[in-house]
Structure 1
Amino acid sequence: MKTAAVPSILFVCLGNICRSPLVEAVARQRAAQAGLSLSLASCGTGHWHIGKGADPRMLQAAAEAGYDLSPHRARQVRADDFQAFDWVLAMDRDNLETLEGLRRSGGTAPALFLPWAGVAAPEEFPDPYFGDTEGFRHAVALAEQGVDGLIARLRQR
């Protein structure tokens, strides 16, 4: 739930099996290490993977970097998410446009994750789903970079 005491962030990608659960896990671990209390979640704009775990290739790439995605179960964005979260951060423009179409007036306006976190380039978080193993490893590095920027931004609050 939205509260001033504990900032809440929802990370959103297409299927909620690659990018957004990765960013959620990285943010959860790094926020804890930084002593920040955050309410974190992730979801997808699509319905295809509801209830499924993270993509096995993402599980492996994340585990190699020290992040555990095994508890994750995909869910689809809900209308009440825009009321429940302080920030709704999309991984790419397609997901941002979908979120903007779903948002009701008065709810949290979605934004692109990487620019919001202060990452200059790339503006969009590439989807590794149709790529090779290296794309998943690159996603982990990009998630870490974005989360570092996110934590720096939250510390300035």
Structure 2
Amino acid sequence: MDTMKPVRILFVCLGNICRSPLAEGVMRELASRNGYGDVVSVDSAGIGAWHIGHSPDRRSIAVAKAHGIDISPLRGRQIDAADLAAFDLILGMDSRNVAELRGLASPETARKVHLFMAFATGRSDDVPDPYYETADAFEALYQMLEAGCSSLLAKLVRPS
């Protein structure tokens, strides 16, 4: 089997209720399904404090559930300085998130901060915030995150 060194990944969006908890659920599921659940550790956080302690958006929960993933136990939290030190990869969902993260980071931790899709796929696309959109936008979000997380997982795996 191919190998992977343990990695701690933090997905970050604006409020930690739509994009980042869904990315966390998708990545956890893909890692587990591919036999890397014990070495890939994932979490999510938001830039802002508006949704601390809240469940993910009901539409993110619904789209995850439709794809066999349960993110309902997750709770919103705000990123803090300890996260910047604790995680190996800090992946912002859009360029605004990345700019905010780099503003919080020290010179030592700034190298861990990346735009999710750019790091995962090499395409510097923002993951659009579906908060003010319809349920269709959440399915499109899922598809984008699933593709990005699959690519990220493949990037982290080293052939044995």
TM-score of the superposition, structure 2-length normalised? 0.91
Q: Partner of 1:117 in structure 2?
A: 120
After TM superposition, the structure 1 stretch with the greater mean CA deviation from structure 2, 54-63 or 10-19, is: 54-63
Q: Provide the alpha-carbon RMSD of the alignment.
A: 1.5
Q: Partner of 1:78 in structure 2?
A: 80
Query: Is contact 2:102–2:110 with CA below 8 Å preserved after alignment?
Result: no
Query: After superposition, where does 1:1-157 map in structure 2 within 5 Å?
Result: 5-36=5-36, 37-109=39-111, 110-118=113-121, 120=123, 123-156=125-158
Q: Distance in 2 between matches of 1:11 and 1:24?
A: 7
Detail structure 1 runs of 4+ shifted over 4 Å in the superposition: none
Query: Is contact 1:87–1:108 with CA below 8 Å preserved after alignment?
Result: no
How much has 1:108 moved relative to structure 2?
A: 4.5
How much has 1:81 moved relative to structure 2?
A: 1.1
Aligned residues: 153
Q: Distance in 2 between matches of 1:82 and 1:11?
A: 12
Q: Distance in 1 between matches of 2:110 and 2:99?
A: 14
Q: Distance in 1 between matches of 2:65 and 2:49?
A: 25
Q: Percent sequence identity over matched residues?
A: 41
How much has 1:84 moved relative to structure 2?
A: 0.4
Letter in 2 for 1:130: Y
Query: Is contact 1:12–1:90 with CA below 8 Å preserved after alignment?
Result: yes
Q: Distance in 1 between matches of 2:121 and 2:101?
A: 21
**Which structure has more RCO (C-alpha within 8 Å, separation ≥ 6)?**
2
Query: Is contact 2:120–2:151 with CA below 8 Å preserved after alignment?
Result: yes
How much has 1:33 moved relative to structure 2?
A: 1.0
Deviations 1:96-119 (A, max 9, x none): 010010012312531000111115
Unaligned runs of 5+ in 2: none
Query: Is contact 2:13–2:45 with CA below 8 Å preserved after alignment?
Result: yes
Q: Distance in 2 between matches of 1:16 and 1:75?
A: 7
TM-score of the superposition, structure 1-length normalised? 0.93
Unaligned runs of 5+ in 1: none
3-state SS in 1 of match to 2:121: coil
Deviations 1:69-98 (A, max 9, x none): 111000000011111011000000110010
